Amino acid sequence: MSGETIRDSACTYRAYKRECLENLKLYKGLHRFMPTLVKMEGFRVIEVPIAHHSRQFGVSKYTTWNRMWRAFIDLLAVMWMKSRHIHYKIEERI
């Protein structure tokens, strides 16, 4: 629905250059869509495969059901932001 090509957007292991995040406006829950927000600012995003290991101890408190509705509402917000985003380039002339 978001038009994103990132395959594992739920993975929280991320690295960004400082300039990618300096002007980024973050809101509660939009961390899920940081690759999309960074792309909207004109930066390139790549994916690097990492190894996911199974939980060894304890039980996760995160489930699909307790995250789904909030994530869906955030997705709608990002879709709205993308539809209203103005793409422009500044050209310097001498």
* pTM confidence score: 0.62
Express each pLDDT in 39-91 by its tens digit.
888 888 888 888 878 888 888 777 777 677 787 888 888 888 888 877 777 78
The pLDDT of residue 1 is: 60
Virtual torsion, Cα 6, 61, 74, 23, nearest 10 deg:
-70
The pLDDT of residue 46 is: 84
User: Can you tell me the mean pLDDT for 21-25?
Assistant: 84
The pLDDT of residue 92 is: 85
3-state secondary structure the chain: CCCCCCCCCCCCCCCCCHHHHCCCCCCCCHHHHHHHHHHHCCCCCCCCCCCCCCCCCCCCCCCHHHHHHHHHHHHHHHHHHHHHCCCCCCCCCC
CA distance 6 to 72: 17
Enumerate residues 6+ apart whose C-beta is below 8 A from 14: 34
User: Can you tell me the mean pLDDT for 23-46?
Assistant: 82
Query: Does residue 3 carry a pLDDT above 80?
Result: no
Task: Locate the domains of the chain by residue range.
Answer: 1-49+61-94
